């Protein structure tokens, strides 16, 4: 049992303990989580997947991500915005994704909202809420990591004001963590000490 501190994996490297809870998490932790994500379509995918994750474990979403990408046309905003009632019915019957009516409807509605934005506008809005990293000490244990912050609350309000759905403060913070607006890798984690070259 861990106290929430970094744990040594099979390769001897220390990682955030959640990264070693299942094999699927290791590459996600090492290569994606906390790495900067830019681009409207890429951020739309993350917003959508974080919304689908609400109330579920992230591993459930991660294992179905290929199915989500296939079902939602690679999360290309323009394509999803053009989905019809037939597409909605297809999504509600697709066993490769989470068939939650409210979350599917929110994803389609969000795409329609975002299709009217200028290119780069979503990227700019989200990244404008990144806190100053100098004011954020590295977490030593999992208990040091918040679920909500003033910045995630502000981001949630900004997204909702612009018409997006399923973007509460907790979901917004998970988005900030996943997309690299904040670095919540533990202080001793290999991904904080020596992140992979880009």
Half-sphere exposure of 22 (CA within 13 A, CB side): 9
**Domains of the chain in sequence order:** 40-129+136-179 (1.10.340.30)
Segment 128-164, tens digit of pLDDT? 999 998 888 999 999 999 999 999 999 999 999 999 9
78 is catalytic: no
**How far, in Å, CA of 14 to CA of 80, rounded?**
40
Strand partners, 15: 7
**How far, in Å, CA of 80 to CA of 112, rounded?**
8
Q: What is the pTM of this model?
A: 0.94
Find the catalytic residue in 18, 58, 117, 127.
58
DSSP code at position 16: -
Strand partners, 87: none
- Token readout for 177 is 């963590």
117 is catalytic: no
50 is catalytic: yes
179 is in an annotated binding site: no
**How far, in Å, CA of 177 to CA of 140, rounded?**
16
**Rg, C-alpha atoms of the chain:** 17
Find the catalytic residue in 33, 45, 50, 173.
50
Of 196 and 181, more confident: 181
């Amino acid at each position: 049992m861990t106290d929430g501190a970094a744990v040594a994996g099979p390769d001897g490297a220390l990682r955030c303990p959640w990264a070693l809870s299942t094999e699927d998490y290791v590459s996600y932790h090492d290569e994606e989580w906390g790495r900067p994500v830019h681009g409207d379509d890429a951020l739309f995918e993350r917003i959508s997947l974080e919304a689908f994750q609400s109330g579920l474990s992230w591993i459930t979403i991660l294992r179905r991500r290929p199915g989500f990408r296939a079902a939602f046309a690679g999360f290309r905003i323009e394509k999803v915005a053009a989905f019809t009632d037939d597409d909605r019915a297809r999504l509600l019957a697709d066993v490769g994704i989470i068939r939650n009516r409210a979350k599917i409807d929110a994803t389609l509605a969000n795409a329609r909202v975002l299709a009217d934005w200028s290119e780069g506008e979503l990227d700019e809005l989200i990244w404008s809420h990144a806190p100053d990293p100098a004011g954020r000490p590295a977490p030593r244990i999992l208990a040091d990591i918040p679920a909500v912050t003033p910045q995630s609350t502000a981001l949630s309000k900004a997204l909702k004001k612009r018409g997006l759905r399923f973007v509460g403060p907790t979901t917004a913070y998970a988005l900030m963590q996943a997309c690299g607006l904040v670095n919540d890798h533990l202080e001793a984690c290999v991904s904080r000490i020596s992140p992979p070259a880009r």
